[in-house]
Structure 1
Amino acid sequence: MTLLLRSVALTDRGLVRRANQDAVFAGSHLLAVADGMGGMAAGDLASAITIDVVARADAAHPEDGLVDAMRGVIEAAGDQIRAAVAEDPTRDGMGTTLTALLFTPDNTAVLLAHVGDSRAYLLRQGVTQQMTKDDTFVQMLVDEGVITPDEAHVHPRRAVVTQALQGDPVTPAFTVLHPQAGDRWLICSDGLSNVVREDTIAEMLRTNPEPQACAVRLVDLARRAGGPDNITVIVADLSEAA
C-alpha cells in the first residue's frame, strides 16, 4: 500500500537570539532539522552546510538503501564542516544537530537518523511518543539514574550536547520504521522542546488536524514561553493514497 506524505516546515528566530542558526529541509522523501551551535563560531554555517549536503539524499531509495544513503550524506556534511573550520580557524567549535526522516518512494518505510538534541515525535492512534534520545549530558545523568527527567529540564548543564556534527567522526542513531496511515511526525529543534511541555506538544499534534495550523500553533507556543532560542518545526502527515 502506498502512503501519501504531506509536510509543513516553519522556522522562527525567536524573541532573544539575534540570528537564526537553525536550518530546515522538507522535500519529497526527506525531512530534516539542523540546529547550529557555537554562537560566534558560525553555528548558522554548520547547520546550513549540513542541510545543503543532507538534502542530496532527497531521492528514491529502497528500504535496504536508506541507511547507506543517510550515512553517506552525514559523513559528507562532517567533511565539509571540517573543511570550513580549516579555512577559517575562528570557526573552531561550530557544529550542528541533525534529526531527519528519509522515506522510501511509497512511504511504507522510513529511516529516522539522529545526532544531537533536536527531536522527533510520532503521533500514532492518539498516542505521542518521543522517537529520539537526546545526545546530552543531562540525558546521560537521567540514564544513570542520577537525576529525574523533570530535574533534567532545569539542570544548569541541560544545553551541553555530547554528540554533534562538528567535523569529527560521529555515531548517528539509525532506526528503520514502517509508517501507518494516520501517523503524524514532528521534528523540532530544542527551541520548542525546551520550553513547551511534552504533554502540550502532544495535545497540539492531536487536536490540530491541518499540518500548517499545527506548526504555526507550536511555534506560537514557544514564542509565548519567551522564545529564548530559535524555533524550527516540521509537521508531517501520512495518509492512504486515493
Structure 2
Amino acid sequence: MEPADDEPDAALLAALRAGDLDAAGRLFRRHLEPLRRTAGAWARQPAERDDLVAETFARVFTIVRAGGGPQDELRPYLVVTLRNLVARWSRQRSRVELWATVPEAAAGGADELALHRSNARLVWSAYCTLPGRWRTVLWRTEAEGGTPTEVAPSLGLSPNSVSALAMRAREGLRQAYLQVQVPEAEDPGCREPRRRMGAWIRGALSPRRAAIVAEHVAGCPSCRLVTRGLVEANRELPGSAARLTG
C-alpha cells in the first residue's frame, strides 16, 4: 500500500508550475473521487461523468502549467471549472446564474460549501477594489435591499441618479469580479494587457485599447488561456450584480 501523501496542494501546484508532471498525478489521485462524486450530481451516466472529470482536470492542469489557476487549494477551482463545463454542455438552459443552486452531492455538501466560499471570496475581493461611492450604493441597494428612493437622501442624490449610479457600480463589480481572477504575469509584455482584461471581456474598453489587448492575446498562448477562463466566468454572470452577502 502506498504511503499517505500529506504534501499540501500548494506545494504540489508549485511543483506542477515548475514542470513536475508527477505532481499532477498526485493531485489527480487526491481529488479524483471527490470530483467524481460532485460530477455525479449532474451527470447520471458514468461515461458522461468521467468525461466531465477528465476534461476538468485537463483544463485546470493546463492553466496551472501556464502560470495561472489556484495557488493553495485545488478543490474549489476544480469544482468551479466542472460547473462551467456543465453550463457549456447543457442545452436546456439559456443562462447559468452566478449563485445558482448546486445539486446535492453524495459527499454531503462539502464541495458545494467550498464552491460558495470560493465565489464569495472573489466577489468580496472585487467589491473592495471599487471606488468608495460605488461600494456604498451597492451595499445600500444590494446587501441591505434599499430602494433608490430610500438610499437617495444619504447619498445626496435624486432617486434617478441613485439608479444610474447603481447601474454603473454593478457593471464595475462585474468587471472587477473578472479582473481579480487574472493571475499576475511574469512576462513584462503581458502585464498591461492583463491589467485590462476584466474590462476587455465585458466590452468596456475604447476601440483602440480593446484592439491592443486583442492583438496581444492573439499572439500570447499564456494570455489566451487566461482569457478562456474569463470568458467562461463572464457567461455565468447574471444580469444584476453578484450578491455581496451570502
Scaled to the shorter chain, the TM-score interval is: under 0.3
Give the TM-score taking structure 2 as reference length: 0.23
TM-score by length of 1: 0.23
Higher relative contact order by CA 8 Å / sep ≥ 6: 1 or 2?
1
Structure with a larger share of its residues in strand: 1
